[in-house]
Structure 1
Amino acid sequence: MLPACGTAAQRPVTGHFNGATFFNPDGAPPRGFLDLARWKLAGEARDWPDSYPSPFAPDRPPRAAGPLRVSFVGHASFLIQGGGLNILTDPVWSERASPLSFAGPKRVNPPGIAFENLPPIDAVLVSHGHYDHLDLETLDRLWRRDRPRIVAPLGNDATIQSHRADIPVTAVDWGGVVPLGHGVEVVAVQVHHWSARGIFDRNAALWCGFVLRGLGDGVFFAGDTGFDQGQPFMRVARQHGAVGLALLPIGAYEPRWFMASQHMDPADAVHGFNLLGARQALGYHWGTFQLTDEAVDAPPADLALALNGQATDPGRFLAVRPGQVWSA
């Protein structure tokens, strides 16, 4: 039996929850099953190699110290270190982003940090319930080893606890603020996406991005998001000012007719970066799991074109590879 997203029992109706499911206010809903079939039957996915190794050696990060240090693990998993804290985003150390151990998208490169080389983890941020972002086996390993604070949007606590009931999860709505200690707090922010882990639980749990305040000049991790006319980025800039570092997805974007409402392409990501007013961006969500039709190396090539086309310094927006480390 596949694990389901969280339930909506006794949750009040809000501007993005109708009493049964969550939704994007004034935004496009996810495509339906007929559109999914149309996409898959078109058979236009580029072939990916069985192995796409990173040019960077696996990182062996130290315990968190003062300056902001960010290591890329792969896909949407980052280790963010600073202020005495070690924080993971959407940690996935499993071989597949799938409910099945023998089928589904398989890694084409190993994690940029071996699990045993992780420093003690203080906090884990889970953006939503899709299998390439919420990996129950990895969360179980982290909980058994480090007992980190786990923060996730509403409903994903039930998903995690359906796997292991004794894992406490701080479930937050958009705008929720969670102190992490050492003067650092995380804020769940509205992005444009959706959620499901099975056939019958679409949007039963919420999705979000996160802003970390108190680390450097602030860090924005977008999770997964469509561009949505730039609204997610304008909101962050309006509510939190110009953050120092933006972690933005740049992959899983073709075909555009299907993916545009839920995943940005590199041109969208550069536009969003400029709307944020951030000083630096790291591009992720590419080159580890094949989820969509574009070639494995298309995102960095398209990112270079977008940076040139939008007159943005390419040194300010890097398409990172597993094991790569960025420091403030």
Structure 2
Amino acid sequence: MPSRRKLLGYLAAIPVIGSAGAAWASSTNPYYSGPVSDHFDGTRFFDPHGSEPKSLTGVLRWQFGGGPRAKWPDSWPIEGTDKPPARVDGDDIRLAYVGHASVLLQTRGLNILLDPVWSERVSPVSFLGPKRVNPPGIRFEDLPKIDIVLVSHGHYDHLDLMTLSRLAAVHAPRVITPLGQDTIMKGHDAAIRAEAHDWGDRVEIGNGLAVHLASMRHWTARGVFDRNKALWAAFIIEAPAGHIYHIGDTGYGQGHHFREAKARFGGFRLAILPIGAYEPRWFMAEQHMNPEEAVQVMIDCGARRALAHHWGTVQLTDEAIEAPRQALAEALAARSIPPETFRAIRPGETWTIGSGEV
């Protein structure tokens, strides 16, 4: 029989408990109503270049199949937490890794949080489910004034309603998210200033910056009956000194989305890419890329440098805690890519990219 940890390991991405499951059983969409499009059938969203996530049968095969699963430590301490400056002016980019998929990005006088999660667990309930093994790399009290929050999709390790409520109460930021995710947020707390946008939309955020929503190879859900009833997206931050490509979660597939991003935007100054939650490959490959594929994405999208995330904080899948960083180093060496151009830093660590760096 699998361990209790293994049974709960994928709770964040294959939700089995929901606070309003009965409502989601309806064939209608409780989150979004809009015209049919090339990625919305009137009820559910889909990726024309993607694939459906595995069925419940696949989940049970993985969880009960007895395959190898690395045991993470109960605690993997960090050296310390970051105390960010109030602002970073000009075209320098300061990146602070909060943990898992959460990053603070500071540039051109704006403070932008990506998929912020300060909760102890990534789960629909507070008392069980995947638990972080290190504290957030920035204490919530040490955050500078947050202007913009980008939330990529509704899985619990990316959309944390408790954190969004705390941010709304203290900072009142604009929250930019894909279609339907705003309904989830405002249903929890009307004070969350969520605004929803579609793939291809461009949103000006001030100080010469804009955010584009782009397709990515993934899916979304908050419960067992609402799969893909809201949209998921990557974000491209348009900036005068070079664009930034942020992907919360994605599979690689045939690489269509990443080559399309390069064709549209001409390459990127920085890509922020997930490298973890990829084993076993038979189950994860369509929705989560591995470190070797992340390096290929960096090449495909024309990014000059990349920051790794989605590793080393919460165990969702079977690989060991440091395996993503080790595999990333091997993949970079195999391509003769300098390791300093694609970094996997720990929570609490930072990386500043100067305006003159090419």
Please tell me the TM-score bracket, short chain as reference.
Answer: over 0.9
When structure 1 is superposed on structure 2, of 65-74 and 211-220 the one drifting more is 211-220
The Cα shift of 1:63 comes to: 1.3
- 2:172/2:193 contact within 8 Å kept: no
Deviations 1:61-85 (A, max 9, x none): 0112222111110011111101110
1:24 matches 2:41? no
The answer for the alignment partner of 1:263 in structure 2 is 288
Q: Distance in 2 between matches of 1:3 and 1:243?
A: 40
The percent of aligned pairs where both chains have the same amino acid is 50
Equivalent in 206, 210, 219 of residue 235 of structure 2: 210
1:64 matches 2:81? no
The Cα shift of 1:215 comes to: 6.2
1:13 matches 2:21? no
Q: Kindly provide the amino acid, as one letter, of the partner of residue 291 in structure 1.
A: L
Q: Kindly provide the amino acid, as one letter, of the partner of residue 94 in structure 1.
A: S
Q: Distance in 2 between matches of 1:96 and 1:9?
A: 27
- Give the match's secondary structure for 1:217: coil
Q: Kindly provide the amino acid, as one letter, of the partner of residue 261 in structure 2.
A: V
The Cα shift of 1:10 comes to: 3.2
Deviations 1:21-41 (A, max 9, x none): 011103211101000000000
Equivalent in 198, 223, 238 of residue 198 of structure 1: 223
The answer for the alignment partner of 2:72 in structure 1 is 48
Q: Kindly provide the amino acid, as one letter, of the partner of residue 58 in structure 1.
A: T
Q: Kindly provide the amino acid, as one letter, of the partner of residue 261 in structure 1.
A: E
1:109 matches 2:134? yes
Q: Kindly provide the amino acid, as one letter, of the partner of residue 323 in structure 2.
A: A
- Give the match's secondary structure for 1:116: helix
Give unpaired runs (5+ residues) of structure 2. 1-17, 354-358
The Cα shift of 1:45 comes to: 1.8
The answer for the alignment partner of 2:266 in structure 1 is 241
Give unpaired runs (5+ residues) of structure 1. none
- The 5 Å alignment of 1:107-146 reads 107-146=132-171
Q: Distance in 1 between matches of 2:212 and 2:337?
A: 28
The answer for the alignment partner of 2:15 in structure 1 is none
TM value normalised by structure 2: 0.89
Equivalent in 11, 19, 22 of residue 2 of structure 1: 19
The answer for the alignment partner of 1:310 in structure 2 is 335
Q: Distance in 2 between matches of 1:244 and 1:109?
A: 30
Q: Kindly provide the amino acid, as one letter, of the partner of residue 135 in structure 2.
A: P
Deviations 1:140-185 (A, max 9, x none): 0000011100000001011101101232311010011111111111
- Give the match's secondary structure for 1:288: coil
Q: Distance in 1 between matches of 2:125 and 2:259?
A: 38
What is the count of residue pairs matched by the alignment? Answer: 327
Q: Kindly provide the amino acid, as one letter, of the partner of residue 259 in structure 1.
A: M
Deviations 1:168-222 (A, max 9, x none): 3110100111111111111111100000110100001100010111264121111
When structure 1 is superposed on structure 2, of 115-124 and 173-182 the one drifting more is 173-182
Q: Distance in 2 between matches of 1:264 and 1:166?
A: 35
Q: Distance in 2 between matches of 1:327 and 1:166?
A: 33
The Cα shift of 1:251 comes to: 0.1
Compared with structure 1, are the counterparts of its residues 219 and 262 closer, same or farther at alpha carbon in structure 2 (3 Å cutoff)? same
Q: Kindly provide the amino acid, as one letter, of the partner of residue 34 in structure 2.
A: R
When structure 1 is superposed on structure 2, of 25-34 and 92-101 the one drifting more is 25-34
Q: Kindly provide the amino acid, as one letter, of the partner of residue 319 in structure 1.
A: A
Deviations 1:116-142 (A, max 9, x none): 000000000000000000000000000
The answer for the alignment partner of 1:156 in structure 2 is 181
The answer for the alignment partner of 1:39 in structure 2 is 62
The Cα shift of 1:241 comes to: 1.5
The Cα shift of 1:9 comes to: 4.8
